[in-house]
């Protein structure tokens, strides 16, 4: 009896209609949002790329920026740069797009462009802490910007001042993956909250970075 029931259930599953694929840009965008909520970055990036290809003009500039950021999380840096550049073509004053573009240029190793883009933001918002940090990261051994970021925004002061005593960003092919993985931030949080000792936190971060850089 039980065997017959299971067989019938399996047959029903096998003949059930598959979930239809989205057919329009808005549906793909909605699917991408659902994947982001589940932390499924690769699937979200796939859906967002389809949404942008099918109907980029159907979305607001801010929506396009958010989708571009998710593309960058999945290492689709060129695609993210293209989408942010398109946003700025129709909305040249979009500072959020400029900041994200500067950050992704840095991740892509285009440091001069990252600095130039950050400078266009700082001309309008000279004390913007996020932009100051992006520019500082793109300029190895630049401590004056870190001082300014710490002074203008006490919330990020510990991280900015700690960075002054650090070596410049390594010229490693996958260093952007280390930054996107929040390895150093997690280590600092674990140490400051007492979850790990300094030695244990440093060893954990070292292991994580070695795995990321050599994978």
In the DSSP assignment, the letter for residue 173 is T
pLDDT single digits (tens) 1-18: 444 544 454 445 444 445
* Long-range pairs, 109-118, Cβ under 8 A, ≥24: 111/138, 111/139, 114/138, 115/139
3-class DSSP state for residue 195? coil
d(CA 125, CA 99): 11
For residues 76 and 98, the answer to whether their CB atoms sit within 8 Å is no
Choice between 79 and 18, residue whose per-residue pLDDT is larger? 79
3-class DSSP assignment, residue 116: helix
Say what the alpha-carbon torsion angle 92, 97, 102, 107 is, to the nearest 10 degrees. -140
What pLDDT, on the 0 to 100 scale, is given for residue 80?
A: 96
Crossing angle between the packed helical segments 61-73 and 41-55, to the nearest 10 degrees: 140
The region of weakest confidence among 35-39, 121-125, 150-154, 181-185 is 150-154
145 pLDDT band, cuts 50/70/90, is low
Nearest to 176 by CA among 105, 119, 125: 105
- If we measure between CA atoms, which residue out of 74, 137, 127 comes closest to residue 105? 137
Q: Which two tokens stand for residue 97?
A: 């797009």
Question: Do the beta carbons of residue 181 and residue 215 sit within 8 Å?
Answer: no
Predicted confidence at residue 208, as pLDDT, reads 87
How much is the mean pLDDT over the chain? 79
Which runs of consecutive H residues, i.e. helices, occur in the chain?
Answer: 2-15, 25-37, 41-55, 61-73, 77-90, 95-107, 111-124, 129-138, 144-152, 157-164, 175-180, 183-192, 198-214
Structure tokens at 70: 């998710």
Tokens of 130: 């996020």
Average pLDDT over residues 129-149: 67
Q: What is the pLDDT of residue 154?
A: 61
């Amino acid at each position: 009896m039980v065997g017959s029931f299971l067989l019938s259930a399996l047959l029903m599953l096998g003949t059930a209609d598959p979930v239809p694929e989205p057919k329009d840009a808005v549906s793909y965008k909605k699917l991408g949002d659902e994947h982001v909520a589940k932390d499924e970055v690769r699937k979200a990036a796939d859906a967002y790329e389809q949404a942008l290809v099918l109907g980029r003009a159907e979305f607001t500039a801010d929506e396009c920026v958010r989708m571009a950021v998710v593309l960058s999380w999945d290492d689709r840096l060129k695609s993210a740069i293209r989408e942010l550049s398109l946003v700025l073509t129709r909305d040249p004053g979009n500072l959020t797009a400029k900041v994200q573009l500067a950050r992704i240029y840095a991740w892509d190793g285009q440091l001069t462009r990252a600095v130039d883009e950050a400078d266009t933001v700082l001309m309008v918002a000279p004390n913007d802490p996020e932009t100051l940090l992006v520019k500082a990261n793109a300029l190895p051994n630049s401590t004056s910007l870190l001082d300014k970021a710490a002074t203008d925004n006490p919330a990020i002061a510990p991280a900015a001042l700690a960075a002054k005593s650090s070596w410049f960003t390594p010229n490693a092919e996958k260093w952007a993956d280390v930054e996107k993985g929040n390895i150093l931030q997690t280590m600092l949080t674990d140490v400051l909250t007492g979850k790990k000792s300094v030695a244990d936190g440093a060893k954990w971060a070292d292991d994580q970075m070695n795995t990321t850089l050599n994978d």
